[in-house]
Structure 1
C-alpha cells in the first residue's frame, strides 16, 4: 500500500515565494540575504500553523545555498540544498525545546557551537517552542546568544512571546507572523485541490478557512478529512455536515421570520436547529456574527470586512438594505446580553426563545427624540413596517433595551364655525408644520381653530408661555398628579397598623435567619405616645441597649411605612416587665454555693478547717 503523506507535509513551502500570507517577512529575509545583512539571532513568533518553522527552515537552506538566485531564493540544485531537502545536512540542527528544555540540553548545544562547519558558510540552529525552556536554560544560553561565533546563526520559534525573558528578546531580531487571511487560505486550498484533481466548491473552501481561523496547517488537515469523507467531491452541504456548522440559510430564514413578526415560524426554525444537535449558544454566536455582517454591509467602505464568498456577500448586502442601522445595533446588543446570561439560565431553550420573541417585536420599536429648542417630537421607525401595525408593548421593549413612549391621541376640540375640508396636501402640511398662533378676532365672537385628529401628532397651544395639554394627554397628566398626591399622603398611626408593620419588620430578620435579633425584637412592645410619636418598650438593660443600636433603622422603617418623616421613635426601659416574668431560678455565686453545701453536708466545713484550706471566692 502506498504511503500517504498529509497535505500539510506534502505541500510545505520549499522557498520564500511559496509561503502564504507572510510577504512582509519573506521580503525582509530575502533582502537581508542579498545584502549580506544577516543577524546572528532571529525570533519568529506568532499563532500556530502560520509558517514559523517553515520560514526558519527555508532561511537556513537559503543562507547556505551555493548558487543563490538573484531574487534571494535558494537554487535547490547545489549540494547544500540537496542535503537539506533529503534531511541529511550537517550544518542545520533542529532542537525541540518542549522536550529538551533543561540546562544540560542547552549546555550540550553550546558545546556544539564551538565547532566550525565542515562544509558551507554557516551552522544554523533552529530551536522550536523556545518558550518551553526553563529559566536556568535561558540564562545558560544568554552569553552564547549575545556573542556567538561568526559562523553560527540561531533561529528561535515560539507561539508565546510573552513567556520569553526580556534579556533573550533584546538579543534577537524579532519577526511577528500574522494570521493568514481567509482569502489567502481559500486561494491556497483551491491550488491544492486542483493539483490533486479534486472537485471542490468555493463556498466549501470558505467554510474550511473560516473554521480554522487563520491556521494553514489546520486548514490542510481539515481538507484531508473532508476529502476522505466525500471521496474527492467536496460540496457546501457535505462540508457543513462534516464540520458541524450551522448553515447560513437558517439565519436568513430566521431573519425573514423576525422581519415579518412570524413568531411561530421563528420558533419552529429554532427547534429544527436544536434537533440537528446545535446548542443554543452556538446559535446565538452565529446569529450575532450574521447581524454583524449585515451591519458591516451597510457601508461600502467596510464591505471587505465581511469575509464570505461573493454570492453570499450579495445576499448579505441585499438583506441589509431592508434594515436600519439602529435596529441592527439594538438587536446585537440584545443578543450580546442573551449570550452573556446563557450559562446562568436554568431553561436555556426558553432563554433563547425569549430573545427570538423580543427581536420579532423589536422592528416595531419607536424612538422619541425630544428637541429642546422647539419642543417638537420626532418619531423614528427602526425597521420598515412591512404592513404589520401591531403595537409593541412594554415588556418586550424594556427587555430589548429600547425606550418606548406612546404619543397622546388628541381629541377633536369643539368648533364654533364650520371649516372647509382640507386637501390631502394641505392636511399633510398641517401635520408637519409647527402649531400656528390663532389670528386676533375683530369681533367678540371667538374663532376656534380645529385640531387634527391624527394619532401621530399632539397639537400644542401656547398659553402664557406654557404648553397646554389637551385630550388624552391632559387626562393622563391629571391622573399622574392625583397619583402623586396620593403617594405623598400621610398614613395615620394606629395601634393595629403598628403591630402589622412591626411583624413585617421582624420577618425581614427571620428570612435572613438572624434568630437572635428576632428574639430580641419579639420581646419588645410598641405603643402610641402621640400622633407622631411611637414608644418602644424594653424589659431589661441588655435589650434596651440593643434597641438603641437598631433605633435608626426602626425609625426609618416606620417613617417609610406611614409616609411621615416627622415620626419620632422613643425608647423606654421598663424593668417591671422583667420582674413579672417567670424566668426560673437565678444562678448562685461561688460563696452561696459553698454555704449551701456546708448547710447540707457539715463535714465539708470540718474537712476545710482540719486541712487549713483557704477558699478563693
Structure 2
C-alpha cells in the first residue's frame, strides 16, 4: 500500500527533526535528565513538527529498551506501536471535532486509569484552541494537578485563542516556520532516499509555495515526483504542477515594465488571458518574484517596494471586479505611473460612489462655440467610423482599448460628440474623463472626423440600485472611507 511521503518520512527520532533546534535541545535535555513537565503547549504554524515532537516525547518516556531517554530505540514494542499510531497509552484528540464539555468530561473520567503498556499516558490534544470555553474550564483543574502517570501535550496554530489560565499551567514552546536552508536539506534527504534528483531552483520554488511548512513542502515534492515519474524534474514542469506563473514570463514582464513598454505589457496580459492564466494570481506571483530579486540584490529595494505596493493597491481596490483582465490593465497603468504619481487618487475613487443623473454632462464654460462642425459630418457617419477611431486611439495609448470596450457614441450635439457608458462602467467613464485619456481620444477624433469636435461622457440608463444590484466595489469603498452614497 502506498504511503504518502510526509508520513513515510515523519521523523522517528529528534535528530531527524527539520529546524526547531532550540526546542529540540531543551526537550532532549529534559528527557535525558528525567525532568519532563506534566503539560506542554506547542504553538506555531501548521506542518512544522508540533505533533511529531509530541509523539517523540511519548516514545522518550515509554521506550522499553532505553528507558526514559532522548534517544528512543525505535525497535521495542512501544516505540513501534507509537510509530504506527496504535499505542494504547497515547491518546490523540482532535479538538476541532471533539470540542465540547462532554468529551472533556469523558477524558477526566478515564484519566485516572493506569497506563496499559507504558510508563506514562500521553494525551495529545490537537487544535486545542477549538475547545469551547466550558470545555477549557473543565480541563483547567486536570491540567493543574494531573495524575503522576499523565502528560498533556496541547498543540495549536492560534495561541491567542487559548485562555491565559490554561497557558500558565503549561510549559510553552513556540515553533517557527522553517528557513529555506532547513527545508531544502530535509527535501534533499527525502529525494535521495527516493532516488530522485531535484534541481536547486525547484527546491526554492517548493519552499516559496510551502509557507515554511515541512508537511506542505513534502506534499508538493510528492506531487512533482508523481507528475514527472520516469522523467527529469525541471523548473518548468514544477511550475506547471503548481499552477504558477513561469519564471520566464515574470522576467519578460518585469523587463517590459522597467522599460515602460505599454504595448508589450498589454500584449503579454492579453496572451495570459487567452492562455487562461489567472491574472490576479500572476500579479501576486510577480510581487513575490520582485521580493526575491530584492533579497538577492538584483532589484533596488525602493523600486521593488513601489512595484509590490502598486500591485496590491490595485488588486485590493478592485478585488470584486469580475473582469480580471480589466483589473490587470489598471495594475499595469498604476505600475507605469510609479515615479509620476498615481493615476487613481482616493478622492476620485470616493467620487465614483456618488449617484449621477442619466445623461449627466460635466459642466463646461458657457462661451459660444467658435467653430461649427461641417454639415456633411453626421452622427451616422461617426458611428460608421467608431471602430477606426478606437483602433487609432489604441495605437496612441493602448490602455484606452480597455476603457472603450463598453463605450459607444450616443449623440452629436453641435460640436459635442456624446460617448455613452452603461451604469456598470463608472470606472471606465471616469478614466476617460481624465486628461490622460480624454486628450488622446479627442485628438484622434479631430484627426479622423473634424478638428472642432469635443467629447463628453455620459451614463446610458439608470445606475444600479445600492441595496439590490449596485457594484460591490462601491460598497467596499464606502466601508473603507466611512462615507455614504449620495442619492
TM-score, structure 2 as length reference:
0.64
Partner residue, 1:293: 292
Counterpart secondary structure, 2:10: coil
1:94-173 matches, within 5 Å, as 94-117=92-115, 119-173=117-171
Equivalent residues of 2:315, 2:327 under 8 A apart = no
- CA RMSD of the aligned region, Å? 2.8
Partner residue, 2:191: 193
- Separation in 2 of the partners of 1:132 and 1:39? 23
Deviates most, 210-219 or 11-20: 210-219
Deviation at 1:118, TM superposition (A): 5.0
Counterparts in 2 of 1:173 and 1:190: CA distance versus 1, 3 Å: same
Q: C-alpha offsets along residues 226-255 of structure 1, whole Å, 9 cap, x if unaligned? A: 222221432211111111100122222122
Deviates most, 326-335 or 52-61: 326-335
Deviation at 1:333, TM superposition (A): 3.8
Partner residue, 2:343: 399
Partner residue, 2:82: 84
Counterpart secondary structure, 1:200: coil
Counterparts in 2 of 1:238 and 1:57: CA distance versus 1, 3 Å: same
Is the counterpart of residue 242 in structure 1 residue 235 in structure 2?
A: no
Counterparts in 2 of 1:222 and 1:167: CA distance versus 1, 3 Å: same
From 55, 58, 68, give the equivalent of 2:56.
58
1:4-403 matches, within 5 Å, as 4-68=2-66, 72-85=70-83, 87-117=85-115, 119-233=117-231, 234-298=233-297, 317=298, 320=299, 326-343=302-319, 348-357=324-333, 359-360=335-336, 397=341, 399=343
Q: C-alpha offsets along residues 284-314 of structure 1, whole Å, 9 cap, x if unaligned? A: 222223333344444xxxxxxxxxxxxxxxx
- Kindly tell me the number of residue pairs found equivalent between the two proteins: 345
- Separation in 2 of the partners of 1:329 and 1:159? 30
Counterparts in 2 of 1:51 and 1:295: CA distance versus 1, 3 Å: closer
Counterparts in 2 of 1:22 and 1:348: CA distance versus 1, 3 Å: same
The structure with the larger Rg is: 1
Counterpart secondary structure, 1:47: coil
Gaps of 5+ in 1: 299-316, 366-395, 402-510, 512-617
- Separation in 2 of the partners of 1:126 and 1:157? 7
Gaps of 5+ in 2: 346-462, 464-487
Counterparts in 2 of 1:116 and 1:278: CA distance versus 1, 3 Å: same
Partner residue, 1:564: none
Counterparts in 2 of 1:327 and 1:64: CA distance versus 1, 3 Å: closer
Q: C-alpha offsets along residues 449-497 of structure 1, whole Å, 9 cap, x if unaligned? A: xxxxxxxxxxxxxxxxxxxxxxxxxxxxxxxxxxxxxxxxxxxxxxxxx
Deviation at 1:171, TM superposition (A): 0.9
- Separation in 1 of the partners of 2:86 and 2:309? 59
Equivalent residues of 1:330, 1:400 under 8 A apart = no
Equivalent residues of 1:45, 1:52 under 8 A apart = yes
- The structure, 1 or 2, with the larger RCO (C-alpha pairs under 8 Å, 6+ apart) is 2
Deviation at 1:57, TM superposition (A): 0.6
